[in-house]
Structure 1
Amino acid sequence: MANSRANEIDGHMNGIAEEYDYIICGGGTSGCVVAGRLAEDLNVKVLVIEAGPDNANLENVHMPAGWNQNFEKETDWNIVGTPQASLDGRQVKQSRGRFLGGSSGVNGCLCLRGSKQDYDDWGLEGWSGDEMHKYMAKAETLHTEPWFKPAPGEHGTTGPLQLGPHKNAPISDLFMESYKSMGLPYYDDMFTVGAPPNGCGHVLRTIHNGIRSTAADFITVGHRRDNITILVDTSVDKVLIEDADGGLKATGVAIVTKSGEKKTLRARKEVIVSGGAYCSPAILMRSGVGAKEEVEALGIQCKVDLPGVGKNLMDHPLLFFFYETDNPDVSYDHLLYHGNSLASTYELYKTTKTGPLSVFPFGSFAYARIDDRLSQYPEWRNAPCKPGRDAMGQTPNQPNVEFWNTEAYGGPLQYTNFPIDNKHTFGLVCILMNAKSRGTVTINSTDVNEIPTVDHNYLSDPLDMLVLSEGCHMGNEIVTKGKGTKDLVTGSWPRSESHHSYKTREEWVPFVKRFATTCYHAAGTCKMGKADDPMAVLDEKLRVKGVQGLRVIDVSVMPNLNNGHTQMPAYGIGEKGADLIKEAALSAKA
């Protein structure tokens, strides 16, 4: 094993070879998985190129509750979306991890795979729900607890990703009671199997012994191999695409270090783009792969006219809403915001890896079908539906919304009015599943350091606003009428809001416009598709159409979002992608 974790770059290229078998553009979640699995063959040389730094000494990556301390810094891509018409012109910050491990180091540590139907709906060979769930399980090692009942046969025991159940704060146990009393029955491990569409349960977390487990673990920690080179603080300018065998072939990459040094590196076998939903389309467009008119408008020669590059951008819009309570014992606020409590809580974490900083403060989760509630609205009843599907395209076995409660105050960056001075709060989050709105990612120049332009087009489809606002209405009823929480509420927080007293869905619409934000589940901008899909960028084997030796492997490949979170699909896509590359290598030898 190599002693160093990474080849640190500071204006030079010491130790960097000219050629590798596989070059992976992006050391985020899927990219690290692909690299680690390919390097299991000690006869191949693998290069991982990451725009940000190594994560070894980033305390707020490894400390679960430190996640948002990585934002607004060089460890964040600092992408801000364009003004959103349906959100009263607001711009939404699209924070992404910019360091080794990527967004697996700043996410909620949450393992919600989505239902198998979600992947069956892709309709692509090799990507069924059964297959995707097996690949997600392959990535993990489950560390369970006596009080948690894992779904039999659904979990991995040998993967580098360490995960386990989350021990609830008192407020989360009370929420579980409220969910159950409001018609959402309890199932221990429902978010692993992705069913049922109505119910509550525990969500596994990528945390073990108080430390966050990230995708970087696939190529560091106990999985650092001498045939992996990790190049940090280095950006991929473009993929080199050349004429070969009567067609086009990816032969390497052009890179730029943090200090501005430029170099080209060669790939003997394949180049893999793993920059995520925002950066993968940007790399392709700078390489001359994308919509012809868009690429040529930037002075780039269009190598392959693929109009789907940067289109089909998806996310799960969500709302945080908080409640004030006079009960001081239900949340962690007093351990984080009151007086000098944070200092002692931090010292507890440093010495024992326990306490509120050792967990991510999201508690009990629930899925809900709300079509009975939606049926009162003519726009829902009159919307066109495919057989067996609702107006959002969901089957009866897929949820319309997801809920979770917070165990302390906090969330998106706009929530800055913390409950100091011995105030106490708890929150609920409502997420829209399977949004119909689609956005775009574009670039405005060939400058590798220019951030892509991101337009999520949030809630532009009226049905998205209808379902999300009705979901919030239901969530408020869970809090204010549910068995476990109804007696806790003394008002809304901040006090300038009054959502705890809202009686109708319509009252929620202005609130949604003011506060709806991202779940950081951007996906779909380099989607897979069948040969006759004009907007597909990739085939079922993740190969870029029209270019040999070039694949995209990250959540940008998803044709539709799963009804869950994107962390586990990112791992599953990485595992599946690595197997596809290995199969191609074996076929080439035959």
Structure 2
Amino acid sequence: MQDSSQFDYVIVGAGSAGATLANRLSADPSVTVCLLEAGPPDLSPLIRTPLGLIRLSKDRRHNWLFASTPQAALDGRRVSVPRGRVLGGSSAINGMIYIRGHRADYDGWAKLGCTGWDYESVLPYFRRSEANDDPALDDRFHGRDGPLSVTRLRDPSRLDHDFTAAAAGLQLRRCDDFNAPEPEGVGIYQVTQKDGERHSTAAAFLEPVRARKNLRVVTGAEVLRVRMDGARAVGVELRGAGFGKDGAPDSITARGEVILCAGAIGSPDLLLRSGIGAASDIRTFGGEVHTDLPGVGRNLQDHVDVMVICKSRSAAPYGISVRALPRLAGEALNWAFRHRGMFASNMVEAGGFVRTSPSETRPDVQFHLIPGRKSHRGRMVEWGHGVSLHTCVLRPESRGSVTRVAPDGPPEIDLGLLADDRDTERLLKGVRLARQILKQDPLARHGLTEIVPGDTATSDDDLRAHIRAQARTVYHPVGTCAMGTGRDAVTDPRLKVRGTENLRVVDASIMPLIVSGNTNAPAIMIAEKAADMIAEDRRRA
């Protein structure tokens, strides 16, 4: 493919959805595809090394490092909102957990008018992307030949098994497949890894097809806005990567479609900067209104989360200490020569989905176990050994927004965490259950002492104060370009932006309701399904 500024499809964002979509669309040699990424190539060894996620969470080169506005229900704290800024997007910096959610999540989308997005309709797209190497799992629900490697951890910590045994002491069942239609129980998560390395969507979907002559992948290209001709999207304006002279903006033309895959923060922000959104929001930062679409940037949802952190007398958990130095040296060699051990860990190895009350019809909280002592003070690591247990609300009632108050700079991100008191009360019940699990003998035998919230926090009011002081998210923002049929829907069920032509959004922002679990696998599924819809529309044109 000759160097050109005109393509059939221009995809903005090379993350979980964008990399997947670029692979599938460019499989048709009759079309040309340009994939634009603001960040660098995924060349850092931190990306391929699973334990590198500790550093990537604060690495400005590969991470947008957004932050929320002060959260009223969290004592006015700002909350970090890390998002991948690199080929592979957030799949290059995340915890690698492969989770799809619950059957009822997708059936719920269909009930809201999102035809074709029920569980039975999306299951084939989950299976198409997946190469699961566990022969014990049911082939009705799992793919074996897809691009994305899904596997069990090579060397899970023994703390993971202790966690599962401790939960069993409270009559919490074991779950061997968190990606069956109705997952419930605890166990060790499957991960997106291959041969002990992270398998991001860049590695899975882009690397194998980079030689295609009809696919151009451009890094270091920051898209500023979508160019519109009347209602029709005709291209994008961008800077960087050699586009434009002396840093001035330049443009790329889309003969077919412009497709935003910039995520739940980036996609609504791009629409707003392009004059598409609530007219009042656009006028606030001095923009020109093109399409008055009030739902853009609204409906932001994320999984609100809080930790219980314990130190331990035992050095069995991962940790940094004098007595751990020989082990750490051995683990480094184990990784260098065999890609095994602690450096192959995603650090959120075990967990599960449980009900905080028998009256719940399905699990309402999720646990993520870290077999180490996580920092509650914003540091990457804490000195010593311990166990940390995350608890998050799976289907929060609270809503936030992505808006803009100035033409330049980052968007305003109001996560709206705990704006609805029901989320606080559900999280409180989840934290009480987490503390009970940590006190069961299989874990307690490691000599655990609770640091946060601490043994003196016993009443509901104490725990509510802890939640306000420590709650964050597990980095699953969705919903800001929600699909649907109502007035506030941004995209229709074919992911076309309402009131426009040849413009789609394909990423987690289109979820009308957040899924009950981690969001990377659903974002990939969305792109798989979108690729089919885009191809169908091209054939009909």
**Which residue in 2 is equivalent to 1:36?**
23
**Which residue in 1 is equivalent to 2:532?**
579
CA deviations over 1:501-547 (Å, ceiling 9, x no partner): 644433211111111111100000000011xx111001000000011
**Which residue in 2 is equivalent to 1:378?**
none
Alignment of 1:467-478 (within 5 A): 467-478=426-437
Change (3 A) 1:498 1:446: closer
Matches of 2:292 and 2:236, distance apart in 1: 20
**Which residue in 2 is equivalent to 1:557?**
510
Amino acid at match of 1:522: P
**Which residue in 2 is equivalent to 1:9?**
none
CA positional deviation for 1:483: 4.3
Change (3 A) 1:136 1:336: farther
Matches of 1:164 and 1:335, distance apart in 2: 31
Alignment of 1:39-188 (within 5 A): 39-55=26-42, 57-70=43-56, 71-122=58-109, 123=111, 124-144=114-134, 149-166=136-153, 167-188=155-176
**Which residue in 1 is equivalent to 2:342?**
356
CA positional deviation for 1:412: 6.8
Amino acid at match of 2:444: K
Amino acid at match of 2:396: A
Matches of 1:337 and 1:111, distance apart in 2: 34
User: SS of the residue aligned with 1:408?
Assistant: coil
Matches of 1:504 and 1:174, distance apart in 2: 27
CA contact (8 A) 1:196 1:397 kept: no
- In structure 1, stretches of 5+ residues that fail to align are 3-14, 373-389, 391-395
Matches of 2:339 and 2:377, distance apart in 1: 26
CA deviations over 1:89-112 (Å, ceiling 9, x no partner): 111111111001000011110011
Matches of 2:207 and 2:176, distance apart in 1: 31
User: SS of the residue aligned with 1:174?
Assistant: helix
Matches of 2:469 and 2:322, distance apart in 1: 27
Say which of 529, 532, 540 aligns to 2:493: 540
User: SS of the residue aligned with 1:266?
Assistant: strand
Alignment of 1:132-531 (within 5 A): 132-144=122-134, 149-166=136-153, 167-189=155-177, 191-197=178-184, 199-224=185-210, 225-243=212-230, 248-257=231-240, 260-329=247-316, 331-333=317-319, 338-339=324-325, 342-372=328-358, 396-410=360-374, 414-415=378-379, 418-420=382-384, 424-447=385-408, 450-480=409-439, 482-493=440-451, 497=452, 499-500=454-455, 502-530=457-485
Change (3 A) 1:484 1:344: closer
Matches of 2:312 and 2:431, distance apart in 1: 19
Matches of 1:99 and 1:196, distance apart in 2: 32
Matches of 1:289 and 1:63, distance apart in 2: 40
Matches of 2:176 and 2:373, distance apart in 1: 26
Change (3 A) 1:418 1:257: same
Change (3 A) 1:78 1:404: closer
Amino acid at match of 2:138: A
CA deviations over 1:327-352 (Å, ceiling 9, x no partner): 223x2226999447545533432232
CA positional deviation for 1:140: 1.2
Change (3 A) 1:44 1:368: same
CA deviations over 1:144-181 (Å, ceiling 9, x no partner): 27xxx313421112221111012421111011011111
Matches of 2:365 and 2:447, distance apart in 1: 23
Matches of 2:474 and 2:453, distance apart in 1: 24
CA deviations over 1:347-385 (Å, ceiling 9, x no partner): 43223211211121223222111134xxxxxxxxxxxxx
Change (3 A) 1:285 1:435: same
Q: What TM-score, normalized by structure 1, do the two folds share? A: 0.86
CA contact (8 A) 1:207 1:359 kept: no
CA contact (8 A) 1:345 1:355 kept: yes
CA positional deviation for 1:430: 0.6
Matches of 1:328 and 1:266, distance apart in 2: 58
Name which of structure 1's ranges 482-491 and 563-572 shifts more when overlaid on structure 2. 482-491
Amino acid at match of 1:572: M
Change (3 A) 1:230 1:335: farther
Amino acid at match of 2:52: G
Amino acid at match of 1:184: L
- The number of residue pairs the alignment matches comes to 531
CA contact (8 A) 2:376 2:470 kept: no
State the identity %. 30
CA deviations over 1:207-233 (Å, ceiling 9, x no partner): 121111111135432222221101110
CA contact (8 A) 1:291 1:307 kept: yes
Amino acid at match of 2:350: S
Name which of structure 1's ranges 61-70 and 503-512 shifts more when overlaid on structure 2. 503-512
